[in-house]
Amino acid sequence: MILKRSYRVAGHVFSLSLESGDWIWDALGNYEPFLFGGGEKDLFSLELVQELDVQDKRELYVSNPGPGEQRIDIHTVDGGYLFELAPLPDLPVCGWLKVTEDFSRGSLKTVSSRVFCVNNALMLMYAFRTAGLDTIEIHASCTVCDGRGFLFLGKSGTGKSTHSGLWLKNVPGAWLLNDDNPVIRITDGIPRVYGTPWSGKTPCYVNDDYPVGAIVRINRAPHDEIHRMGVVEGFASLYSSASGLRALKPVADGLFNTVSAVAQKVPCYVLDCLPDDEAALVCSKEVLGNA
Amino acid sequence: MRIKEGFTLRSIVGQYVVIGEGIAQVDFNRMITMNESAAYLWQGVEGKDFTVEDLTRLLTDKYEVTGEKASADAAAIARKWIDAGVVGE
């Protein structure tokens, strides 16, 4: 029997359907805080299937992941897109996600790494489907303090999570909302950051949201120093950390509109820092004072 | 020369920026900022082959500027775009 569950993340409802007895349900505990009773129509739905009908496959984008990063290649197919997923650059493809052109319906076939595939399929569909809805998925770590969310951005390995950890240790009242992929959504003109089921290696799945206090790009440096960026710089910083297939015009337009609106409303900074306590003190002193 | 596929001119708080958005530019993780006259030139040559002379003509059409100055500015901006990787020779 097929079991369908609905979830709500940053106010957007989506559903996942697969066999009720499948062990994978037990491995998807990260979605439980986001379970939604229903009543609202799904913005998008994903089902797990045994077979995928793929016709007229043409390469659209071949990813170029760094060591340790996942590989996601994209093709156009009859009626939409096909995403091929692999957890590491040199591992074979283990999941095929076929989605309709508007990203509202997806079918996923997996042969291994099934949890990885389900999580990534839902993240991709979420980012693309909500791009035109004042919503962006951000590759960031997010700490809450004084009722506001502070996002730390940076390339993989720069120390986003480390910096959040330093806030938790050094800034009274700070706690972790999400460690890898929070969502920012603008509601009533106010950018708010939401916890999500996607938090990287840190199991932190909080269904809660706060106004964004500041967005800070982390740069490794031999000293601790923070600078406020202008709107255009802040835009560039946030844009490079936002998920979305920019090759599709509606997605690119949506991303641009949301990121530029956020950059105009929220103070953006760049923090040159060491991975030390002083970094959290320098950063929090500046951003808490201006948030 | 020609603007490479996948670069889009957009405007944010009155500042023009060129962003890599096309599939060919998915990994282009930079942004070029432009002033108003550069953005005007960009729009004038978007989607077609062009030369430094075309840029010069666009400048003298719109601005009160000598041919010599316009030509020097046009060459400088073409070089800047090529160096930034947004225009192919």
pLDDT at A99 over 90: yes
The total of other beta-carbon atoms located within 10 Å of residue A232's CB is: 18
Whole-angstrom Cα distance, residue A130 to residue A8?
Answer: 13
pLDDT tens for A230-276 read 999 999 999 989 988 777 888 899 999 999 999 999 999 999 999 99
B22 lies within 8 A of chain A by CB: yes
Residue range A209-222: mean pLDDT, rounded: 96
pLDDT tens for B5-45 read 889 999 998 889 998 876 666 666 678 889 999 999 999 99
Would you give the end-to-end CA distance of chain A in angstroms?
50
What pLDDT score was predicted for residue A62? Answer: 82
CB interface of A with B, residues 234-263, below 8 Å? 235-236, 239-240, 245-247, 252, 256, 260, 263
Decide if A231 and B17 are in contact by the 8 Å CB cutoff. Answer: no
Nearest residue of B to residue A230 by CA position?
B13
Pairing type for strands B15-20 and B31-34 reads antiparallel
Q: Are A233 and B17 in contact (CB under 8 A)?
A: no
Decide if B19 and A64 are in contact by the 8 Å CB cutoff. Answer: no
Nearest residue of A to residue B7 by CA position?
A247
What pLDDT score was predicted for residue B27? Answer: 62
What's the burial of A43, exposed, middle or buried (CB within 10 Å: 0-12/13-18/19+)? buried
Residue ranges matching CATH 3.90.228.20 in chain A = 135-290
Q: Looking at the DSSP assignment, which residues form a beta bridge with residue B88?
A: B2
Which of A232, A246, A247 minimises the CB distance to B17? Answer: A232
- Alpha-carbon separation of residue A184 from A22, A190, A259, B81 (angstroms): 32, 10, 9, 33
**Amino acid, single-letter form, for residue A86:** A
Q: Which of A81, A61, A60 is nearest to A71 (CA)?
A: A61
Helix/strand/coil for A136: strand
Determine what percent of chain A is predicted with pLDDT higher than 70: 100
B5 lies within 8 A of chain A by CB: no
3-class DSSP string for chain B: CEECCCEEEEEECCEEEEEECCHHHCCCCCEEEECHHHHHHHHHHCCCCCCHHHHHHHHHHHCCCCHHHHHHHHHHHHHHHHHHCCEEC
Class level of CATH domain A135-290 = alpha beta
pLDDT at A12 over 90: yes
What pLDDT score was predicted for residue A49? Answer: 96
Q: How far is B8 from chain A (nearest CA, A)?
A: 10
- Torsion sign, CA atoms A167, A173, A178, A182: negative
Per-residue tokens: B77: 């901006």
pLDDT at A65 over 90: no
Q: How far is A122 from chain B (nearest CA, A)?
A: 21
CB interface of B with A, residues 34-53, below 8 Å? none
Residues in Cβ contact with A115 at an 8 Å cutoff, skipping those fewer than 6 apart: A24, A27, A28
pLDDT at A3 over 70: yes
Going along A132-254, which residue ranges are E strands?
135-137, 140-145, 148-153, 175-178, 183-187, 190-194, 209-220, 225-228
Residues of A with Cβ-Cβ distance to B14 under 8 angstroms: none
What pLDDT score was predicted for residue A214? Answer: 98
Whole-angstrom Cα distance, residue A227 to residue B28?
Answer: 25
Residues of A with Cβ-Cβ distance to B5 under 8 angstroms: none
Decide if A240 and B26 are in contact by the 8 Å CB cutoff. Answer: no
pLDDT at A101 over 90: yes
Whole-angstrom Cα distance, residue A168 to residue A200?
Answer: 18
